[in-house]
């Protein structure tokens, strides 16, 4: 296996690099905390150190980066693609890094900006590369449908004929973190495992009645600020055990996405989730609550499929 | 005028004391930052210092306190009253302070716990005293109707025949503060005047189109986490000027209360706001957007009416 290509998912706080061989084989991966915020002013040096840390990697390999590295807060602001541009054209729109030394083939994938019928605007950076991977993994026809990519900013996307036809982003993970770290719900949202991003007290979602109660509440009463105070009212009147509020709030926030999806996604349309197993399980519980089927795609396989496809197109360009 | 009674609105972070004469005249007021959180472990000494700072006040005057001073995080946890208890009975349910030295008539007003038809629970502490004041200022019959008491936790209350028949709390001010201080919207929510709690860039609400746009968005699209990300999407695509996001988010959050009120409050029911003039103006703009009339009551006059009525009942008890 000869190393031929490096793909980097470079987000706000973390990055993950994959070293790919000419035949598409994954040779090595590296993940670290050198996110876009931490690398301000020293992106080039940080990238060279990362490349040097990969086995068999030569400094002359082409590097494609995706994510917030291409935002205004990142290395170089890369304009968004318009939704009319098919995902299959992503490789042709990679932006060369202006600061790259001569001979380096460094480029950044553009995000997408999607405008709705009423003029509303939504954006993504990084997820377009995952969707490009899904398209290659599933095939263009089979990839039609709705996708949820959970996270700090949870994305709901509709793909049709290789294009992003709808995009709705929810500030789910960010709001959960804000409420858990600050404010009047924070102490009740502390759980035994501070690393448990969803705040569940149990090993499985199905075992946590407060998560499911939050999902049901989000479906019945859509005003989030009222539902959030409801968590506090239940805590101070003894109706919600200390430490259980995180699961309830998690249910309210993810449940709000699914309540909205009932209005936005037709009942017979398949929905797929691309995300970490723990978050995918929470979405599966929401899908079950609403009587919908959810197909779970392995986020790592999707990302590797994207790098392989980009490598092929980049190396033959 | 002989000083006869001290009323203290004692919240989480601030308190305000009023010294009342036997004939109901206001003799003096004092406000400071000695909130319940700051006074942990030294409430008695802090109260005695406050009393000593008031002119003509003797240490033997009866003191009635309302607000978070009666919560678990305060001086003494006073159980909530049930909504079946009329507001007129508030004076009979004042809880004596257990730590009070012999001869001191110190007491704390209880909050209310209101349960809805579906078993949902909501609570207030401090606002019950303002509503008691409104009842005395307006008269029992005229006081029927809906009230909004804006703030960190905005309260919507329905009064009927002197009882609290409905209560809905919204975490409006708290969420606004969280988003403005932390997270991805924080930088865009900074305005020239950091003291402007509503984030308006203009002298009057009617001049700020972003506040009104937020109100309209909240009415049309109720999923707050999506609308919040929409603010970010507009900022990064140039559709929302830096510094204008605070007014938009303020409109989204207060607008969510009014969108809910359209479902909860019948169109011919009067709505009154009890709050600071700046917040009352924001609610007036929301009422106008929804084609409703809003009557503004002076929060300070309401609070003084409450203390006068409590003084009368306390002194004749």
Residue B90: what pLDDT?
A: 95
Read out DSSP for chain B? --EEEEEEEE-SS-EEEEEEETTS-EEEEEEES--TTTTTT-HHHHHHHHHHTSTT--TTS-EEEESGGGSTTSSS-PPPEETTS-GGGGGGGPEEPTTPPTT--EEE---EEEE-TTS-EEEESSHHHHHHHHHHHH-TTTT-EEEEE-SSSEEEEEEETTEEEEEEEE-HHHHHHHHHHSSTTTGGG--S-TT-TT--SSSSGGG-HHHHHHHHHHHH---HHHHHHHHHHHHHTTSS-TT-HHHHHHHHHHHHHHHHHHHHS-TTS-EEEEE-HHHHHHHHHHHHHTT--EEEEEHHHHHHHHHHHHHHHHHT-
- CB contact A239 to B (< 8 Å): yes
Q: Do A178 and B174 touch (CB under 8 A)?
A: no
- Domains of chain B (ranges, CATH numbers): 1-110 (3.30.420.300), 116-317 (3.30.420.310)
CA distance A267 to B53: 67
In a mutational test of the A interface, the residue from B11, B36, B183, B223 whose CB has the highest number of chain A CBs within 10 Å is B223
B181 in reach of chain A (CB within 8 A)? yes
Mean pLDDT across B97-113 = 96
**Chain B residues within an 8 Å CB radius of A171:** 184, 225-226, 228-229, 232
* Residue B213 C-alpha, separation from nearest chain A C-alpha, in angstroms: 12
For residues A112-128, give the mean pLDDT. Answer: 94
Listed by number, the residues of chain B in 9-68 with a beta carbon closer than 8 Å to a beta carbon of chain A are none
Kindly report, residue by residue over A44-88, the tens digit of the pLDDT: 999 999 999 998 878 889 999 999 999 999 999 999 999 999 999
Chain A residues near residue B36 by CB distance under 8 angstroms: none
Determine contact: B127 vs chain A, CB below 8 A: no
Q: Work out the mean pLDDT of chain A and round it to a whole number.
A: 91
B225 → closest Cβ in A172, A229, A233: A172
> pLDDT-derived band of residue B289, with 50, 70 and 90 as boundaries?
very high
Note whether A225 contacts B224, CB cutoff 8 Å.
yes
Looking at the predicted complex, does its ipTM rise above 0.95? Answer: no
Tens digits of residue pLDDT in A277-298: 989 999 999 999 999 999 999 9
């Amino acid at each position: 296996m000869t190393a031929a290509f490096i793909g980097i998912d470079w987000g706000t706080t973390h990055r993950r690099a994959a070293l790919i061989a000419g035949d598409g084989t994954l040779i090595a991966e590296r993940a670290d905390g050198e996110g876009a915020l931490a690398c301000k002013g020293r992106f080039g040096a940080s990238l060279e150190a990362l490349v040097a840390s990969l086995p068999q990697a030569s400094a002359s390999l082409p590097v494609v980066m995706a994510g917030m590295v291409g935002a205004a807060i990142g290395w170089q602001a890369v304009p968004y693609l318009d939704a009319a541009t098919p995902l299959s054209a992503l490789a042709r729109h990679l932006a060369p890094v202006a600061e790259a030394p001569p001979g380096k083939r460094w480029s950044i994938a553009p995000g997408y900006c999607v405008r709705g019928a009423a003029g509303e605007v939504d954006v993504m950076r990084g997820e377009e590369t995952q969707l490009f991977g899904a398209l290659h993994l599933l095939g263009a026809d089979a990839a039609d449908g709705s996708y949820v990519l959970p996270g700090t900013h949870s994305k709901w996307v509709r793909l049709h004929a290789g294009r992003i036809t709808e995009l709705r982003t929810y500030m789910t993970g960010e709001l959960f973190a804000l409420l858990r770290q600050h404010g009047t719900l924070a102490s009740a949202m502390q759980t035994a495992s501070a690393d448990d991003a969803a705040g569940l007290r149990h090993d499985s979602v199905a075992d946590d009645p407060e998560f499911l109660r939050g999902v049901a509440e989000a479906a019945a009463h859509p005003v989030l600020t009222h539902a959030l105070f409801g968590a506090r009212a239940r805590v101070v009147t003894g109706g919600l055990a200390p430490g259980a509020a995180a699961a309830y709030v998690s249910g309210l926030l993810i449940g709000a996405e699914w309540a909205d999806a009932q209005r936005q996604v037709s009942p017979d349309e398949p929905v797929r989730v691309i995300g970490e197993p723990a978050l995918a399980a929470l979405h599966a519980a929401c899908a079950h609550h609403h009587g919908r089927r959810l197909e779970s795609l392995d986020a790592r396989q999707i990302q590797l499929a994207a790098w392989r496809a980009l490598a092929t197109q980049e190396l033959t360009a």
